[in-house]
């Protein structure tokens, strides 16, 4: 697959700074919200009750987020870039307000669903808008910037949530999110392209949507049910839904994924599969603070920073490789991404002990950073490969929007698989940690094969230089 291209410097973003801020900000508010709520939820439950529904806060948000990403292409057809962002920020702000004023957990969960829908729209719009709002020379840097926001969210979210929870102001945190959403919505019309990229929307692919949302629901349920058998059944339903989805999409007239995904000789299927593997690896980080406390005796705050080391490697490495132009280097980065992820997890697995010494704990940090860097060095180049694997602008925009759906689905799936592997360890934290890390090292190894196929599959002609300026 050939993707050698002109890539400008970060300084070129000065002419598109407002666009970059809106695109990155839309992804960031959703990313912060995920981790912020994790810190705030104990305080919220203590205030409004509903402890038995505790785990459903994340489940409902995740399913709604996937549904939101699926609506991006149709939303752009109906409302254009500016109108879609206004709706996305507005829905997110409305959900935040509902959470802030919730008298009980039932209303709070409704707010979380609305928040998730808005966050999904904003995440999908971020990737799709890179395609229409930035010149091709900034696509790599644009995707690097917005996807780096997931790493930033893992750092800012817990800190922000912990601060509000410390002072018993959990409702105020949602008010702040709502204000940020409204402010971002106000800036969108001023900085986003004013072109009318609306078109007659295609009919809604009801069957495909139902199968994807069903898979997302099954994966999310797998994360909250008790027992390995119930979790395995839920994951089996999710896998079956995905397989049926792929069979249906290949033959359907109206589909969610671009036609190139199913076209013989196209690298797009392998691009998406590599993204799936890298995104699923993020599911490991939710259990890293737990192992830091139980195996190394770290205090909760310090253990939380260990978990964040993986996410920190993602944005840092992305910024370093976004300027790469040579095809040979890009090909190596695609394969090196899942390779570093596998090496990082394998190294961590070998360092798990019942009582971890301080030097060994410190050795965890570079391995976690290495694993995160594996995601970061491959991600922007895979995203641009997806955008340029479709033969026309409309399919290219669909390919870009589908990245967000694949990202959210893979992250949720990874978290559920991580929970299953941890449960297999039973009452032994060491066994749980080893099962988790070795399992995801094996999954990452599959990504090496997928990335290799990306590099050795011919590319559908890159039409970027022949397209009219969609921005």
Domain containing residue 38: CATH number: 1.20.1250.20
* pLDDT band per the 50, 70, 90 thresholds, residue 468: very low
pLDDT surpassing 80 at residue 44: yes
pLDDT surpassing 50 at residue 272: yes
Mean pLDDT of 364-382: 91
13 versus 271: the higher-pLDDT residue is 271
Q: Are residues 25 and 112 in the same domain?
A: yes
Q: Are residues 73 and 127 in the same domain?
A: yes
The most confident of 40-49, 434-443, 453-462, by mean pLDDT:
434-443
Instruction: Name the domain count of the chain.
Output: 3
* pLDDT band per the 50, 70, 90 thresholds, residue 463: very low
Q: Are residues 277 and 240 in the same domain?
A: no
Q: Are residues 115 and 228 in the same domain?
A: no
Q: What is the DSSP string of 345-412?
A: HHHHHHT--SS--HHHHHHHHHHHHHHHHHHHHHHHHHHHHHHTSSSSHHHHHHHHHHHHHHHHHHHH
Q: What is the pLDDT of residues 45-86, one digit of tens each?
A: 889 988 777 778 877 888 899 889 888 888 888 888 899 999
Q: Are residues 87 and 131 in the same domain?
A: yes
Rounded mean pLDDT of the chain? 83
The domain boundary, picked from 184, 219, 245, lies at 245
Q: Are residues 190 and 217 in the same domain?
A: no
Q: Are residues 290 and 388 in the same domain?
A: yes
- The percentage of residues in the chain with a pLDDT greater than 90, rounded to a whole number, is 30
Query: Would you state the pLDDT for residue 275?
Result: 94
* pLDDT band per the 50, 70, 90 thresholds, residue 470: very low
Q: What is the pLDDT of residues 92-110, one digit of tens each?
A: 999 999 999 999 999 999 9
pLDDT surpassing 70 at residue 12: no
The domain boundary, picked from 153, 172, 195, lies at 195
Q: Are residues 273 and 338 in the same domain?
A: yes
Q: Are residues 180 and 72 in the same domain?
A: yes
Q: What is the DSSP string of 38-95?
A: HHHHHHHHHHH--GGGTTHHHHHHHHHHHHHHHTHHHHHHHHHHHHHHHHHHHHHHHH
Query: Would you state the pLDDT for residue 459?
Result: 55
**Containing structural domain, residue 239:** 204-245
Q: Are residues 235 and 261 in the same domain?
A: no
Query: Would you state the pLDDT for residue 200?
Result: 63
Q: Are residues 188 and 220 in the same domain?
A: no
Q: Are residues 168 and 271 in the same domain?
A: no
Query: Would you state the pLDDT for residue 445?
Result: 95
Mean pLDDT of 390-397: 72
pLDDT surpassing 90 at residue 216: no
* pLDDT band per the 50, 70, 90 thresholds, residue 460: very low
């Amino acid at each position: 697959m050939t993707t050698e291209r002109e890539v400008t410097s970060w300084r070129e973003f000065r002419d598109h700074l407002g666009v970059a801020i809106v695109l990155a900000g839309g992804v960031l508010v959703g990313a912060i919200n995920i981790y912020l709520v994790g810190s705030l939820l104990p305080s919220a439950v203590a205030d409004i009750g509903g402890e038995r529904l505790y785990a459903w806060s994340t489940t409902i948000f995740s399913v709604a987020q996937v549904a939101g990403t699926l609506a991006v292409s149709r939303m752009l057809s109906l409302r254009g870039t500016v109108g879609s962002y206004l709706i996305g920020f507005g829905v997110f702000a409305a959900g935040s307000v509902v959470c802030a004023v919730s008298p009980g957990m039932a209303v709070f969960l409704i707010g979380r669903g609305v928040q998730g829908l808005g966050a999904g729209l904003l995440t999908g719009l971020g990737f799709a808008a890179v395609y229409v709002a930035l010149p091709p020379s900034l696509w790599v840097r644009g995707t690097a910037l917005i996807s780096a926001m997931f790493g930033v969210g893992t750092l800012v979210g817990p800190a922000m949530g912990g601060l509000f929870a410390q002072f018993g102001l959990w409702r105020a945190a949602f008010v702040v999110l709502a204000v940020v959403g409204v402010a971002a919505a106000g800036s969108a019309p001023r900085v986003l392209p004013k072109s009318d990229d609306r078109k007659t929307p295609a009919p809604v692919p009801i069957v495909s949507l139902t199968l994807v949302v069903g898979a997302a629901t099954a994966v999310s349920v797998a994360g909250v049910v008790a027992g390995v058998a119930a979790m395995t059944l839920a994951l089996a339903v999710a896998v079956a839904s995905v397989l049926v989805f792929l069979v249906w999409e290949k033959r359907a007239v109206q589909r969610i994924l671009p036609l190139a995904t199913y076209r013989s000789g196209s690298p797009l299927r392998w691009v998406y599969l590599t993204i799936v593997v890298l995104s699923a690896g993020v599911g490991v980080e939710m259990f890293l603070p737990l192992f830091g406390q139980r195996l190394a005796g770290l205090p909760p705050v310090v253990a939380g920073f260990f978990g964040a080391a993986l996410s920190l490697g993602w944005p840092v490495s992305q910024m370093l490789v976004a300027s790469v132009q040579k095809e040979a280097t890009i090909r190596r980065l695609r394969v090196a991404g899942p390779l570093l992820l596998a090496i990082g997890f394998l190294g961590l697995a070998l360092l798990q002990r019942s009582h971890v010494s301080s030097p060994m704990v410190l050795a965890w940090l570079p391995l976690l950073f290495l694993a995160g860097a594996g995601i970061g060095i491959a991600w922007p180049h895979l995203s641009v490969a997806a955008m340029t694997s479709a033969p026309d602008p409309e399919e290219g925009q669909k390919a870009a929007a589908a990245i967000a759906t694949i990202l959210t689905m893979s992250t949720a799936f990874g978290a559920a698989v991580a929970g299953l592997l941890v449960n297999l360890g039973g009452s032994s934290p060491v066994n749980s940690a080893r099962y988790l890390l070795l399992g995801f090292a094996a999954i990452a190894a599959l990504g090496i094969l997928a990335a290799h196929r990306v590099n050795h599959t011919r590319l559908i002609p890159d039409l970027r230089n022949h397209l009219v300026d969609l921005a």
